[in-house]
Amino acid sequence: MTTINSHVFSENPIHYLNLAVKEDVAVKRGKMLFRITPEPLFENISPSGDPYWDDPRNVQDLKDYDKLRAEGKMEFVRLTPELQKELLGL
């Protein structure tokens, strides 16, 4: 682990952010230690930018459902007006 003080980090942040991809980097400021933890950026797949798709869990659910459908373990049914009335008890 590379530990640096906040002054050194502020002089060359790009270097330490790139280094954090390869190894643990921590910035010491006073009595606190801040770890730099890179995470892959999740890209919204919705053309309209719908925030529902900002949550990677929602995308993973869709992929899981698609896999189950491909394996024959789940079936998608088109919601017709008749089926909607039946499900709602109308």
**In this predicted model, what pLDDT tens digit does every residue of 18-68 receive, in sequence order?**
999 999 999 999 999 999 998 877 677 788 888 888 888 988 998 999 899
Residue 90 identity: L
Task: Give CA separation, 61 vs 66, 68, 70, in Å.
Answer: 9, 11, 14
Could you tell me the residue ranges of all domains in the chain?
2-36, 51-88
Query: Rounded mean pLDDT of 1-13?
Result: 93
Confidence category of residue 88, pLDDT binned at 50, 70, 90: very high
Q: State the alpha helices, DSSP H only, in 1-90.
A: 6-11, 13-22, 56-70, 81-88
